[in-house]
Structures are given as structure tokens and as C-alpha cells.
Amino acid sequence: MANRHMARIMDLLQPVMGLCNKKRTLLDTIPFPFFSRPFPWVPALKQPHQYTGMKNYLIPLCLLLISFAKAQTLLRPENVFDGETLHPSWVVVTKDNKIHYVGPEKGVPSPKPQQEVQLPGATLMPGLIEGHSHLLLHPYNETSWNDQVLKESPVERAIRGSVHASRSLLAGITTMRDLGSEGAGYSDVYLKGTIEQGLVNGPRLLVAGPAIVATGAYGPKGFHDGVTVPLGAEEASGVDECIRTVRKQLGNGVDFIKIYADYRLQKGGEPHATFSVEEIASMVATAKSAGTYVVAHASTPEGMMRAIMGGVETIEHGDGGNGEVFALMQKRGVALCPTLAAGEAMEEYGGWKKNGGPEPDRITAKKKSFQLALEAGTQLVFGGDVGVFSHGDNFRELELMVEYGMSPLQVLTCATSKNADLFHLNDRGRLRTGLLADIIAVEGDPLQKIEKMREIVFVMKDGVIYKNTGDE
């Protein structure tokens, strides 16, 4: 009998011992109740003929051991940026998958954490929240967008997506809002599921699925009318169809709805506003009634205006925005995701060499419209449209936001606490007690030099350490 008890205690403590390892494993991310029989005899307590007082005593003892053995980690960097402010010499303690303490080391609650991570010279901050990505796309100078949609199988695209997800996490992105599968259906929903199951590493995802375009207003284009090609998004027209498509996409697992408020009708043509305000408003109301929201691709003043009037929460790109449009966005609380890095990447693919030739008109115009947005006080989103350029190079958007006129503090606030607020994620985006332990560290002080965001030395997501080159 004694052996049986010991075996049971060991069975119980096994996962706990795992939690105590210096670098926790993916297994530890599985919620405790799903471990193999953590408390197999607890219901049986109601059967006194099987269990004696001695056995009952063992249970609280084990629970006591667990409470002491809960994985606490002390992170000791040079500085802590909590998502809003820099605090020199602070430390952070995590407990399981949550932040347990943030502040001066002398205030760390006892008992002292069993493990420590030394990050000398580094700045600790909340994991970055990428606001505009396409995990199922890869750079267009490798394969054109058309060829990715038409020639790469969904299987290839999903495999690529899993590699991209892993790279993104190691680049410090612990949450990612993915803005459309671009012809890969609901592969983003399934990719999100495999990350949540621990099959592949990646950020926490918010996904848009196929996205919604007005009939006739998306690519691939350039085929005669007798050729049917798979589109990069799902078409809809009229209020009824717009409502039906939103409902279908939500039912298939998307987290929010992405629409295209403007697009070109012909290959190489100028973009025009597509959906009517009435259609947009119907999609917004449908999403809202399901507890979520709509974001809109828009680059023309008319497309942006209709999107704002229809009630979307963020406008993506916004290249043609003017003072009037940005002022209305500010007034209505609609945020702008400027995707500066994608704009520059597209010009580079067209032959522009940054710092080596005259600035393309599109870049000059983008800098001007970005300034107008800043002057109007429009809320900005960190989101580079990564996928157009290499996954893992998310820092490019951070650097360009500074180059185009923001301070590093403003930019890093956007990438952490402000993106969390805008995306309704009140469990992350700040280093604060009780929030999720999604934490990264960067070499040096990125508030002085934003380029430091290229040097991610530590990544923790949900309390699990995925990268730690700081104490090697």
C-alpha cells in the first residue's frame, strides 16, 4: 500500500518537477487539469471504505508542495519598460504563465523565486503585438503575390506559415493580428489551432480568415472572363450577402473581420472606393453583435471616409489620407495602421535602393500623410504588413515609424500597451501583476536607439522561455 501511495505522489509531483526546470518545456503549457491524472483519487475521497485518515492527510501535503513548487522566475535586466514607462533597475517575477511582481528587487514577495534569469545590459518589455501580418505570404521578390495565390498549394502555404510563425515569436512577437490568408482560405484559423495545441511555436494569433472584398474588386486579375481563378479574398455585394459572409466567416473561426473599402478594378488601375457605407455598416453591426469588430484596407480618401462612417475600428495603409480624413479618424477613435515597411519593400522590389537614389514619389507622399496623421492626433497601430517582407523582420516597421517622425517611446508604446488596448486585449501588452507572462528582452536601450529592437535576447510566452541568449 505504501508503495502505491508513493507512486501516486510521484505521479502528482512529476509535472510539478517539470515546472521547476530552468527552461520549461512545451508540455508545461498544457493546462494543469489536462496532465495525466493529476488528482486521480480526489473524487474517491467520498468513499471512506477505500481511504483512511492517513491518506486524506497526504492530499493537503501534496497541495502544499505544489504551492511551494509553482514555477517562479526572477528576471533581472538592466531596465524595465512596462509598456508605458522606463524603470531602471526594476525586476520582474513570473509565476506559471502570469506576471507575479514588477518593481524594485527589494520588494519581491517571499518565498524568493527558485530560478533566475540574468539579463545584464538588456531592457525587459512586454512581448510585441504585431498589428498587421500575413503569415501565409512570403516576400514578393521571392514569389509574386499572384503566383503564391495561384501556384502554391494550401499545404505548402500552411507549412510556410508554421515556419513564419516560429520566426515571428523568436523576433519578439508574442501576439500577432493576421490580416487575411490571401487565397489560403481558413489556413490561418488552423495554424492558430496548431500553435495553441503546442504542435508548432508561434505567437498568439488573431486571424481574419479569407477577408471580404466587393464583387469584382480583388485579384488575381488579368484573365479573360471565361477563366475562373481562386481569389485572394471572398466576394460579397449587397447588405444581405455582406451580412451572410460575415456570419459565415465568424462561424468558421475568424477572430475579427477584414474588408477592403477600396481596390483597383483593373490590373494596374487606380484604386476606387468599393463597398457602400450601408454595406460596411451592416458588416460592422453583424461583427459587433458577435462580440468582435471590422478593420478595413483603404488608401483613398473616399474609401477611408466610407470605412470611418461605416464604423470600422482600424484603417490599414491609409496612404491617401488627408487632414480632413485623419481629423475624423481622431474624432471617431478610428486608428491608422500605416504599414510603412510594406510600402518601402514594394518600392525596393521595384528597384529603389534606400539611401542610394532619389526617393520615390510614393514614399515622399507617404511621409507627408503620416505627418498629417500625427498632427491630427490619430491613434497609430504598429503593424508592418509583414509577409510582404520577411517574417521575423518586424523591427523594420518600428524603425520606420521613428524615421517618419515618432519618438522611440511613442513607437514602443504603440507596439505594446496601445496595440493591446486597440485590439481589446486587456490581459497583455504591459508588464503588470496578473497579466500574461509574455515578455521579451532587448540588448541595450531601444528607447535611446530603436535599432536595438533587432537584438532580441530573450522571449517568454505564456511563462515558457523560447529564447534566452542573455545569460549564455
Residue numbers at the binding site for Zn ion (CB under 5 A): 179, 385
The distance of closest approach from Cβ of residue 296 to Zn ion in the complex, given in angstroms and rounded to an integer, is 11
Closest CA to 283 of 219, 231, 236: 236
Q: Which is nearer to Zn ion, 298 or 439 (CB)?
A: 298
Q: Which is nearer to Zn ion, 99 or 386 (CB)?
A: 386
Closest CA to 300 of 335, 266, 274, 332: 274
Q: Which is nearer to Zn ion, 294 or 441 (CB)?
A: 294
Task: Write out the three cell numbers for 418.
Answer: 496601445
The distance of closest approach from Cβ of residue 385 to Zn ion in the complex, given in angstroms and rounded to an integer, is 4
The distance of closest approach from Cβ of residue 102 to Zn ion in the complex, given in angstroms and rounded to an integer, is 34
Residues 6+ apart with CB under 8 A from 465: 23, 24, 73, 117, 458, 459
The distance of closest approach from Cβ of residue 206 to Zn ion in the complex, given in angstroms and rounded to an integer, is 14
Q: Which is nearer to Zn ion, 83 or 383 (CB)?
A: 383
Q: Which is nearer to Zn ion, 93 or 388 (CB)?
A: 388
Distance CA 387, CA 408 (A): 24
Strand partners, 401: none
Task: Give SS3 for 95.
Answer: strand
Closest CA to 394 of 440, 329, 426: 440
**Contact assessment for residue 385 and residue 134, using Cβ atoms and an 8 Å cutoff:** yes
Q: Which is nearer to Zn ion, 385 or 397 (CB)?
A: 385
The distance of closest approach from Cβ of residue 383 to Zn ion in the complex, given in angstroms and rounded to an integer, is 8
Distance CA 403, CA 407 (A): 9
Strands 335-337 and 314-317: parallel
Tell me the residue number closest to Zn ion, measured at CB.
385
Distance of CA 40 to the CA centre of its chain: 37
Residues 6+ apart with CB under 8 A from 285: 311
Distance CA 239, CA 245 (A): 10
The distance of closest approach from Cβ of residue 201 to Zn ion in the complex, given in angstroms and rounded to an integer, is 23
Q: Which is nearer to Zn ion, 76 or 317 (CB)?
A: 317
C-alpha separations of 120 from 22, 445, 458 in Å: 18, 12, 12
Task: Write out the three cell numbers for 349.
Answer: 522590389
Strands 257-260 and 294-298: parallel
The distance of closest approach from Cβ of residue 436 to Zn ion in the complex, given in angstroms and rounded to an integer, is 26
The distance of closest approach from Cβ of residue 153 to Zn ion in the complex, given in angstroms and rounded to an integer, is 22
Q: Which is nearer to Zn ion, 384 or 446 (CB)?
A: 384
The distance of closest approach from Cβ of residue 337 to Zn ion in the complex, given in angstroms and rounded to an integer, is 9
As a residue count, the chain comes to: 472
The distance of closest approach from Cβ of residue 390 to Zn ion in the complex, given in angstroms and rounded to an integer, is 15
Q: Which is nearer to Zn ion, 102 or 179 (CB)?
A: 179
The distance of closest approach from Cβ of residue 183 to Zn ion in the complex, given in angstroms and rounded to an integer, is 13
Q: Which is nearer to Zn ion, 179 or 373 (CB)?
A: 179
Task: Give SS3 for 132.
Answer: strand
Distance CA 130, CA 292 (A): 18
Q: Which is nearer to Zn ion, 258 or 418 (CB)?
A: 258
**Contact assessment for residue 435 and residue 127, using Cβ atoms and an 8 Å cutoff:** no
C-alpha separations of 418 from 49, 288, 412, 428, 448 in Å: 58, 21, 9, 10, 20
